[in-house]
Structure formats: structure tokens, C-alpha cells
């Protein structure tokens, strides 16, 4: 399982541990990923996703999964999230 957020595309970064003596050793900064179940109001379904806590806050801020997917860039989304986005767009077009 890769350590990449399915909604924001956040992945591991690299940097240095710096000691008090200013010794530098390489390290990885991993994203804070959690397994979350998010519900779609339009589709009346829930989806299990592995997303970062930053993305979870963004989903809440934008008003839910449907609103987040409407503004999300396709490049940042995973394949699973892209399928969800296409289903939401299709359902919105059917409602209108």
C-alpha cells in the first residue's frame, strides 16, 4: 500500500535530521494518512478512502465529499477517487 493520499496526492517528502552537533542524516517525512469512510449525498453511498488529515479537513471545509470532488483537480486524485468523481458528475447532470 503506497503512502499517498487518494484525494490530495500528498506523498512522502525527504529531508534531513539535524543533530545538536549539526550532523545531517537523511530521513522521510510521511503524510498523516487515515482510513476514512466518506459519504456522498448525491449518490447516497459511502466510500472507504485512505486520505491525509489535511485532505479530511479540506473535505469538511468545502462542505462534504461532493463539493470537494467538484473542485478537485483530476491530476491529484487517485484512480479510485476519479471513478467516484465521474459518478458524482454523472448523477449531478441527471438531477439537473
Tell me the pLDDT tens digit for each residue of 52-86.
999 999 999 999 999 999 999 999 999 999 999 99
Superfamily of domain 13-95 in CATH is Ribosomal protein L28/L24 (2.30.170.40)
Separation of alpha carbons 49 and 92, rounded Å: 21
Q: What are the domain boundaries of the chain? A: 13-95
Burial class from Cβ neighbours inside 10 Å (0-12, 13-18, 19+) for residue 20 reads exposed
Q: What is the mean pLDDT of residues 34-53?
A: 96
Amino acid at each position: 500500500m503506497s503512502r499517498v493520499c487518494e484525494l490530495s496526492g500528498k506523498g512522502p517528502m525527504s529531508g534531513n535530521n539535524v543533530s545538536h552537533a549539526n550532523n545531517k542524516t537523511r530521513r522521510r517525512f510521511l503524510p498523516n494518512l487515515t482510513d476514512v469512510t466518506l459519504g456522498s449525498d448525491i449518490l447516497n453511498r459511502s466510500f472507504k478512502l485512505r486520505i491525509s488529515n489535511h485532505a479530511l479537513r479540506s473535505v469538511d471545509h468545502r462542505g462534504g465529499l461532493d463539493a470537494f470532488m467538484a473542485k478537485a483537480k483530476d491530476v491529484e486524485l487517485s484512480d479510485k477517487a476519479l471513478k467516484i468523481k465521474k459518478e458524482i458528475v454523472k448523477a449531478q447532470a441527471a438531477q439537473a
